[in-house]
Amino acid sequence: MNEAATKQQKPKKGRIDVLPEVIKDLKDRDIVGRKKYGTTLQSNNGRSSLLDAYQEVLDLAMYLKQKLIEESQENKGE
């Protein structure tokens, strides 16, 4: 069975709360966007936010699959 169909165990207590880390990352990305585009991300900006998001999700899927393949190869000793 491939990874996409594998059921995982119930999560246990972890070490670091994720939400504050995500908030920090969002703030940092906002700074990068302001420097790159000269403004914050705003509605009705002439771009398709749906298409932008879809393209980002496709990139994400590629990066995630890349990492899964690499970890699979590491576990097999390749």
Q: What end-to-end distance do the CA atoms of the chain give, in Å?
A: 20
pTM for this predicted structure: 0.72
Higher per-residue confidence, 2 vs 50: 50
- In the DSSP assignment, the letter for residue 14 is -
For 17-72, the pLDDT digits (tens) are: 999 999 999 999 999 999 999 999 999 999 999 999 999 999 999 999 999 999 99
3-class state of residue 50 by DSSP? helix
CA-to-CA distance for 43 and 40, rounded, in angstroms?
10
pLDDT for res 78: 72
